[in-house]
Amino acid sequence: MKKDVSNILVVGIGGQGVMTATEILAEAALGLGFDAKKTEVAGMAQRGGVVSSHLRFGPKVLSPQIPLGEADLVVGFEAAETLRWAHMLRPGGTVLMNVARLVPPIVELGLFPYPDDPVASLKKLGLTVHAFDANELALELGNLKLGNTVMLGAMADYLPFPADVLLAAILKRFSARKPQMVEMNRQAFERGRAAVAADEALPA
């Protein structure tokens, strides 16, 4: 991301921590003196509905809405939702994708079919995609709710500031209210970073 404003689109299903992750990213950016704006669309978020969250930060940001085709990162907490929002990515941008499937209500209602292979579909579009199972990594640490920290870790090396800045913003949230969760979140963050690094090392 070499331009002035960074555009990050985070999408998923209600209950996965999409909006919390975006809040933490915004806090990290604000702490470094960036202007940051975000906006969310949540369809029955507490009931497993689809959620999308736009974050833009830089020296000066006029609108929170990411223009079509200008997202630097599309970060998908759920596989089908990642594919559904791929059109927002700019040329040369990157998709970071949790391959875990949490079927949205629109699929359960029969309004849309679930794609057979979202990762392959994204790659057929010529996109740079890094896919991993954030849910599995979180469960290995004993708590599915750590999935959003895994996803934040996955983003860490694609931001225009050091990974330690983002990690500090995450841990700050837990140090006062849930100090017992600090070390688990640190591990979840590093597992997310490692998952993307391992996927980058694989042949396309």
Residue type (1 letter), 118: P
Q: In whole angstroms, give the CA distance from residue 41 to residue 30.
A: 22
The verdict on residue 164 lying in a domain is yes
The verdict on residue 1 lying in a domain is no
pLDDT tens for each residue of 129-146:
999 999 999 999 999 999
The verdict on residue 23 lying in a domain is yes
SS3 (DSSP) at 148: helix
If 0-12 CB within 10 Å is exposed, 13-18 middle and 19+ buried, where does residue 144 land?
Answer: middle
The verdict on residue 29 lying in a domain is yes
Residue type (1 letter), 91: P
Q: State the sign of the Cα–Cα–Cα–Cα dihedral 26, 28, 29, 31.
A: positive
Contact 127, 86 (CB under 8 A): yes
Q: Which residue has the tokens 């994708």?
A: 97
pLDDT tens for each residue of 150-174:
999 999 999 999 999 999 999 998 7
Q: In whole angstroms, give the CA distance from residue 39 to residue 21.
A: 13
- What tokens does 42 get? 């949540």
- Judged against a pLDDT cut of 90, whether residue 196 lies above it is answered with yes
Could you give the number of structural domains in the chain? 1
Phi then psi for 132, rounded to 5 degrees? -160, 165
Range of the domain at 128: 6-200
pLDDT tens for each residue of 8-53:
999 998 888 899 999 999 999 999 999 999 998 765 544 557 889 9
Range in 36-45, 69-78, 177-186 with the lowest mean pLDDT: 36-45
Contact 90, 69 (CB under 8 A): yes
The verdict on residue 165 lying in a domain is yes
pLDDT tens for each residue of 105-125:
666 776 677 888 999 999 999
pTM comes to 0.90
Contact 26, 38 (CB under 8 A): yes
CATH code, 10 = 3.40.920.10
Angle at 174 between CA 169 and CA 178, to 5 degrees: 180
